[in-house]
Amino acid sequence: MLKSLSTLALAASLGFASAASADEKVPFSDKAMEILRTAVGMRTAEGHGNVPKLAAYLAEEFRKGGFPEEDIHVLPVGDTAALVVRYRGDGSSGKRPVSLSAHMDVVDALPEDWERDPFTLIEEDGYLFGRGVLDNKMGMTSLTTTFLRLKAEGYVPKRDLIIAFSGDEETGMVSTQALVNEYIELTDSEFVLNADAGGGALAPDGSVISYNMQAAEKTYISFEMTVTNPGGHSSRPRDDNAIYELAQALTKIQAYKFPARSSELTRAFFKASAPMASGDLGKAMAKFAEDPTDKWAIAELRSHPEYVGTTGTTCVATMLKAGHAENALPQSASAVVNCRIFPGVGAEATLNTLKDVVGNDAITWRPMKDPVETAASPLRDDVWEVLERAVHARYPGVTIVPYMESGGTDGMHFRSAGIESYGISGIFLKGSDMFAHGLNERLPLASFYGDLEHWYMILKDISDD
């Protein structure tokens, strides 16, 4: 989904210079441009049936790059597909494989709404424009190209590296579930590095603020709450009324604040973020990292929409539907309440809390989809050190901030299968460049080259001892 970067861009900059060499060509960058151009040209949104074509195209690139047929798997899943490619190592490290995750699908884009054709890669003013350039076709391209480059260089990893691309991350994630269920023998690994989350935040002047690593996701679930009523003629109103009852219930949800929660990860997040934030916000971050029960710190953090979700569970009304005619008493009124549940709290416990808060047994509640509940991935030293070396090679000294995503990426399905997952994209963006899922999606050209360098360093480093 790659959507957290802008919310993580903190107010103050540490003033590091931006990486001067980031837009210089790197080996295989022409190949990467060709792959990205071809991928953007395929409208891999739901319903267009193009993901299997993209998977087949990539499979052919791997074949041409010298990967043996038995290590390339295009896996049809409904009308989409997943792709698994194993880069066999010599096993000398004795370590289990590392999986590399990205997705081949995109959120659809309507050409008539865009300034340029969303399905043609266009370079203009130092940017690459096209649907998916940020989310997530650059990540997919970087991982693919890095495999091709390492193979061409004759590199033999000391553990296996496994590309595991999904084909419907933006919608059902059915292909992601297939990767960790039916096809687990192909993808089983010590941990996953995900190109679809994390990355660097740049200030408006291009200086770097921080690098952000995704290590957890909140549980995403929506509940539909419904009040029904016999209704009747609106000229004869009664005290009972589905719309009023629903409105009262919603007002109670609005007023309710879930208890503050913290974890090793969120305390580390606030501790690392505190020096970069100014005034009361910075003080509250530092205080919360030290004492997550501090009432002042909780209230201050919760007054900032970009941080409220990191302090606990949130539930908010997002949709409303009621009545059937302007001159009739409503026979039903329903609302959707969307929750982002803090890891460890649980969807059932959250629903029970909502029911208690509302206190109206006449309301029926329906979870709109089964939630995927996952624990935070621990902050592993091996991943941290490799990431730090790669990030600091490009941006010396920049602070690396672990964070919890408000949900969700393919990482949650790996985590739910017991495989730790870390979102570590190499893309560095200004808040003003964040157009994932939106109109005129664009990738700074510097990030195209930077992301290729980033993954080349990461994949070599994670597999050479």
Q: Which is nearer to Zn ion, 223 or 428 (CB)?
A: 428
Who contacts 307 (Cβ-Cβ below 8 Å, separation ≥6)? Answer: 281, 285, 301
Q: Which is nearer to Zn ion, 245 or 405 (CB)?
A: 405
Question: Per CB under 5 A, does 217 bind Zn ion?
Answer: no
Question: Per CB under 5 A, does 196 bind Zn ion?
Answer: yes
- Minimum CB distance to Zn ion, residue 146 (Å): 19
Which of these segments, 59-67, 193-201, 208-216, 325-333, binds Zn ion (CB under 5 A)?
193-201
Strands 161-166 and 80-87: antiparallel
The length of the chain is 465
Q: Which is nearer to Zn ion, 136 or 350 (CB)?
A: 136
- Minimum CB distance to Zn ion, residue 251 (Å): 35
- Minimum CB distance to Zn ion, residue 13 (Å): 26
Question: Per CB under 5 A, does 201 bind Zn ion?
Answer: no
Binding residues among 134-153 for Zn ion as defined by CB under 5 A: 135-136
- Minimum CB distance to Zn ion, residue 58 (Å): 17
Contact 62, 148 (CB under 8 A): yes
What DSSP state is assigned to residue 96?
P
Query: Token pair of 402, please?
Result: 């672990």
Say which amino acid occupies 137. K
What DSSP state is assigned to residue 228?
E
Compute how many residues bind Zn ion; rule: CB under 5 A. 5
Binding residues among 2-61 for Zn ion as defined by CB under 5 A: 2
- Minimum CB distance to Zn ion, residue 104 (Å): 10
Question: Per CB under 5 A, does 301 bind Zn ion?
Answer: no
Please give the Cα distance from 434 to 440 (Å, whole number): 10
Who contacts 317 (Cβ-Cβ below 8 Å, separation ≥6)? Answer: 250, 253, 254, 335, 336, 337, 338
Of 420, 442, 460, 438, the residue nearest 213 (C-alpha): 420
Q: Which is nearer to Zn ion, 166 or 263 (CB)?
A: 166
Angle at 309 between CA 305 and CA 315, to 5 degrees: 95
Q: Which is nearer to Zn ion, 315 or 412 (CB)?
A: 412
Question: Per CB under 5 A, does 1 bind Zn ion?
Answer: yes
Residues of the shown chain interacting with Zn ion in the complex, contacts defined by CB under 5 A: 1-2, 135-136, 196
